């Protein structure tokens, strides 16, 4: 059986930090976008980040509990 890649607690913290910063920046980018298609793309991206963050926080918490 092949070893599955694992992510360290520090790596989880970095990923969460990057996504949280992305989430904070997206409303400003949406507001400043003058192209409707670009705004829609950014809104979809924000929705994806909103769905991903809680999942990653849960996985990060589980990883930290194991460490």
**What is the structure's pLDDT at 3?**
79
**Residues in CB range of 53: below 8 A, 6 or more apart:** 16, 19, 20, 23
% residues pLDDT > 90 (the chain):
73
Q: How many CB atoms lie within 10 A of CB 22?
A: 16
pTM over 0.75: yes
Question: Domain map of the chain by residue range?
Answer: 9-66
């Amino acid at each position: 059986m092949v070893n599955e890649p694992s992510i360290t607690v520090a790596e989880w913290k970095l990923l969460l930090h990057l996504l949280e910063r992305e989430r904070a920046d997206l409303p400003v980018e949406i507001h400043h976008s003058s192209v409707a298609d670009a705004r829609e793309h950014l809104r979809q991206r924000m929705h994806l980040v909103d769905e991903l963050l809680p999942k990653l926080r849960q996985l990060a918490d589980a990883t930290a509990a194991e460490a």
